[in-house]
């Protein structure tokens, strides 16, 4: 994953950027992961957190906070 970091981020942007920009109130980055054993390894967890932050950082600044935490906060209201 680290070797292909930029390519993976580029692919994620192609797949999600237009949807997020069109529906900015419908997306959030979560911490839930599939129940796969390697997901519980501390190094993998940190890698996935970094990927999420890098992905959000590439989004339009107008939607970054919504995807990062505001949309999740709205669900808890």
By C-alpha distance, which of 17, 9, 74, 75 is closest to 48? 9
pLDDT value of position 41: 77
pLDDT value of position 42: 80
Query: For 5-46, what is each residue's pLDDT tens digit?
Result: 999 999 999 999 999 999 999 999 886 666 666 667 788 888
Cα–Cα dist 67/71, whole Å: 6
The mean pLDDT of 54-71, rounded to a whole number, is 97
Cα–Cα dist 52/30, whole Å: 9
Q: Structural domain boundaries of the chain?
A: 5-76
Cα–Cα dist 43/50, whole Å: 11
Contact 9, 58 (CB under 8 A): yes
The mean pLDDT of 54-64, rounded to a whole number, is 97
Cα–Cα dist 57/60, whole Å: 8
């Amino acid at each position: 994953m680290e070797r292909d970091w930029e390519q993976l981020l580029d692919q994620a942007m192609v797949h999600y950027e237009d949807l997020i920009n069109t529906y900015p109130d419908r997306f959030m980055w979560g911490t839930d992961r599939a129940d796969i054993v390697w997901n519980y390894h501390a190094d993998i967890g940190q890698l996935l957190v970094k990927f999420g932050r890098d992905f959000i950082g590439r989004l339009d600044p107008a939607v970054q906070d919504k995807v990062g935490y505001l949309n999740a906060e709205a669900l808890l209201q």
